[in-house]
Structure 1
Amino acid sequence: MKLTDTLRFASYAAMGSFVRTLLLVLAMSIGVASVVVLTALSDGARRYVVDEFSSIGTNLVIVLPGRSETRGFNPANLVTSTPRDLTVNDAEALLRLSGVKLVSPLLIATSEVNASGKLRESMLVGTNADYMQLRKLKLSLGRFLSKTSSKGGSPEVVLGALIRKELFGTENPIGKTVRIGDKKLRVVGVLAEGGRGMGMSSDELLIVPIAIAQTMLNTNTLFRILIEAQSREQIDTVKPQVLKTIISRHEGEEDVTVITQDAVLETFDNILNVLTLGIAGIAAISLAVAGILVMNVMLVSVTQRTAEIGLLKALGATSNSVQQLFIVEALLLSTAGAIVGLGLGYLGAAFLRYLYPVFPAYPPLWAVFAGLGTALASGLIFGVMPARNAAKLDAIQALSKRY
């Protein structure tokens, strides 16, 4: 039997039982769609994390309180406070190192801001003038913190775009006074809308001089110190210098962890890549279940089409031709299910992006090919047994529907 005849006959057989074909295609498409959507989610999470850390600046070295040998590097430490001692004097000492371009001390807490009787809780960031350039922030109004205000603790604040909108509406807030905690501060600038970094939206930030933040929170310690090297090539030179300087300032004790932005990105990238592969494997189980369904339905189909198989053999079709016919039919059903599943998967990923525009839920190309290949392999493997059963039937017994 020619391949074209086999394809035509298999197509007629599949369409001859529309409900059976529809159920098989649906089962296979659900499996493929699961692979596409779940890998889009996990790979989107990986891209989101990488983009978040990339957005905090370039050529970064980050100083974390606490030794990595005793506390270990925990990604959550980058966005939560700790009691370890890092001081503004440490940050100033690091700025004097060769290869260092910018240094920003950080102190972060939540605080209430009040203006014109309107109250709102927001993220308070105490830092210096270098923070704007280091984080690549942009302004829509006014200016950022001045170098003198950072050192002297001038009572001024830069508002996030959303904070400005909620407190002042369309009114220009520059020069007006807001109350943060028990302190009055003058608004000197407003950040441009849409900035993000390290899981925080700059639209909801209150940025004040580091000295003001320390006074408000009654502490001399820092949350983190961000350092920007003059070039990517100098990061490996700057990192040991930073550690050496801190150790010398902390009486010879290595009580900090110094990491680079590339190291953080690589760690998250590796973890989330493994997670993506694991999720893809779990989703592929549904394809195996769909393959078993194909096998069961095809076995029933062999029983129902006994007379048809007998007629084919009586007309000269060989056992190999009959086996080929059923395998091709199983592959056609799997292919149809895979194509429908890819379409559903892409629609699902597009819907996720519509719901969460900042989340890049795009299916990776390898997942598309993996889903398609697994679906075809599943149809082929689980279609072999029914095909062999059909090929073993004797023509005379098949025509009389006896075994």
Structure 2
Amino acid sequence: MRAADALGFWLGALRGHRSRSLMLLLAIAIGVVAVNLLTGLGAGARAFVLNEFSLLGRDILIVFPGRKETTGRMPPLTGLTPHELTLQDVQAITRLPGIRRVAPQQAGQMEVIVGNRNREVLTLGTTRDFFAIRQLTVVQGQPLPTLDPEQAEAVCVIGGKLRRELFGARPALGEWLRAGDRRFRVVGILGERGESLGMDFAEMLIIPVASAQALFNSEGLSRVFVEVHGPSFLDPSKQLILAALKERHEGEEDVTLVSQDSLLSAFDQILAVLTLAVAGIAAISLLVAGILIMNVTWIAVSQRSAEIGLLKAIGVTAAQLRLLFLGEAALLALTGALAGLLLAETLLWLGRLAFDLPLYAPWWARAGAVLLALGTALLFAWLPAARASALEPVAALRPPGAH
């Protein structure tokens, strides 16, 4: 049998049963869309998280109060431990070799008032070095002034969204706002950046750390950011910091120290497993489509027994007949898979436009979905195709009900 004859047989079968063919195409396309869409979402979430941590910088260590024996989540933003992190601990870290910058952080919710406008905002107490470590851009004014960490000053930097909500169209630089029972003069306004590591700097109030300690009536710090001189200093600096704090805390190792690489590795592994898991769940839909192909092919063999008998009578071999039915299933699978790929890419493209997220299906998901669709179609069409090839010409040509 010539290839042109086989192609004509396949196309004729598809045209002759349009509703059946459309149903199979739709089932396969939905399975391929599910695999690519879910893996695209997983890969996008993974890329987003990795990008968020890359903004922190590769030479950063973060010191948290409290000892965490196991990891897997970020320690809380605020909280008390037997030995709190203090500004004296920060000064001890600053004196260690290999340290470029150190920025303490204390955080809490505080009501901020300007005239008759008020907002509950996250208030952050830190130093000028925090802006360089977290790569924050001040678009108007300047960052916090260079102060001794223990020196309180009535100045603040606010996010762009908070500026609009509190001051409206009026200029904010040089104006005063009230946070709790204290007043602060606005010296800088942050550029729009959005959320980073759970913090929305557009809605944040940043004040000197000593002012925050007085405002919250607490000397304990929620964390300390440490920037070293380069990647080669990370491990030595980590050991030096742990040793220095252990000596200051009466011999207790009661802090948790993490680096960007360790956080990245943990999140990357978790998100990679989740991406594979959702891809596996979505692939089940392709198996369902395969079962549907098998059932429909069984019906097609029964309905086309006379055609099968005629083909065998004119010399078509069992192998060629088997290939005809397998080729029909493969043509359906490839057409449905390509349609599903096109639809999935369109949906991911719309998602990138709507949410500004890196939603891209990885190459292995695209190739895997197409190969799985093809393999499933061939696997489940094999039994009906084998039955068709085993029919005797005379029995196949006999009208239904005849003996």
Interval of TM-score (by shorter of Structure 1 and Structure 2): over 0.9
Checking the alignment, whether the CA contact within 8 Å between 1:31 and 1:284 is kept in structure 2 is yes
Equivalent residue number for residue 118 of structure 2: 119
Distance 1:356 1:394 in 2: 60
Aligned residue in 2 for 1:371: 369
Aligned equivalents of 2:4, 2:88: Cα separation in 1? 81
Distance 2:5 2:120 in 1: 72
Structure 1 equivalent of residue 391 of structure 2: 393
TM-score if structure 1 supplies the norm length? 0.96
Does structure 1 residue 227 correspond to structure 2 residue 226?
A: yes
Q: Counterpart amino acid of 1:215? A: A
Identity of aligned residues (%): 41
1:274 matched to 2:278? The reply is no
Q: CA deviation at 1:116?
A: 2.2
Distance across 2 between alignment mates of 1:45 and 1:98: 37
Equivalent of residue 380 in structure 1, options 350, 364, 378: 378
**2:147 is paired with a residue of what secondary structure?**
helix
Q: Does the CA-based 8 Å contact 2:72-2:266 persist in structure 1?
A: no
**Of residues 76, 79, 82 in structure 2, which corresponds to 1:82?**
79
Tell me the alpha carbon deviations over residues 149-188 of structure 1, each in whole angstroms, 9 at most, x when there is no partner: 7441101110101001111123221110001112111000
d(CA) in 2 for partners of 1:88, 1:290: 63
Specify the code of the residue in structure 1 equivalent to 2:77. Answer: T
**Cross-structure match for 1:37:** 37
Q: How does 1:146-295 map to 2 (within 5 A)?
A: 146-148=145-147, 150-295=149-294
Given that 1:137 and 1:195 are in contact with CA atoms closer than 8 Å, whether structure 2 keeps it comes out as: no
Q: Which residue of 2 aligns with 1:97?
A: 96
Give the match for residue 344 of structure 1. Answer: 343
Q: Offset at 1:316?
A: 1.0
- Say whether the 8 Å CA contact 1:129–1:144 is kept in structure 2: yes
SS at structure 1 position matched to 2:121: strand
Shift of 1:373: 1.1
**8 Å CA contact retained: 2:108, 2:123:** yes
Deviations 1:349-379 (A, max 9, x none): 223333322x322211111111111111111
Contact 1:327 1:384 in 2 (8 A): yes
**TM-score, normalised relative to structure 2:** 0.96
Query: Which structure 1 residue ranges, 5 or more long, are not aligned?
Result: none
Q: 2: distance between equivalents of 1:177 and 1:199? A: 27
Q: Which residue of 1 aligns with 2:52?
A: 52
Question: Could you tell me how far apart the structure 1 residues matched to 2:399 and 2:115 are?
Answer: 90
2:140–2:188 CA contact under 8 A, matched in 1? yes
How much has 1:126 moved relative to structure 2? Answer: 0.8
Query: Counterpart of 1:68 in 2: which secondary structure?
Result: coil
- Does the 8 A contact of 1:55 with 1:196 survive in 2? no
Say what the alpha-carbon RMSD is for the aligned residues: 1.5
Distance in 1 of aligned mates of 2:2 and 2:104: 76
Deviation string for 1:23-79 (max 9, x for gaps)?
00000010110001111111112112111122123311111122222xx224242x5
Contact conserved, 2:329 with 2:378, CA < 8 A, in 1? yes
1:196 deviation in Å?
A: 3.8
Amino acid at match of 2:328: E
* 5+ residue gaps, structure 2: none
Distance in 1 (CA, whole Å) between partners of 2:4 and 2:126 is 73
Superposed CA deviations along residues 272-320 of structure 1, whole A, max 9, x for unmatched, are: 1011111111110011001100111111111111111111111111111
Contact 2:87 2:149 in 1 (8 A): no
Answer whether contact 1:149 1:209 (CA < 8 A) is retained: no
Counterpart of 2:364, as a letter, is W
Q: Matched residue pairs, number?
A: 399
The more displaced of 43-52 and 139-148 is: 43-52
Deviation of 1:401 after TM superposition, in Å, equals 3.7
- CA distance in structure 2 between the partners assigned to 1:333 and 1:59 by the alignment: 53
Q: Find the aligned partners of 2:149 and 2:312 in 1 and give their Cα distance.
A: 91
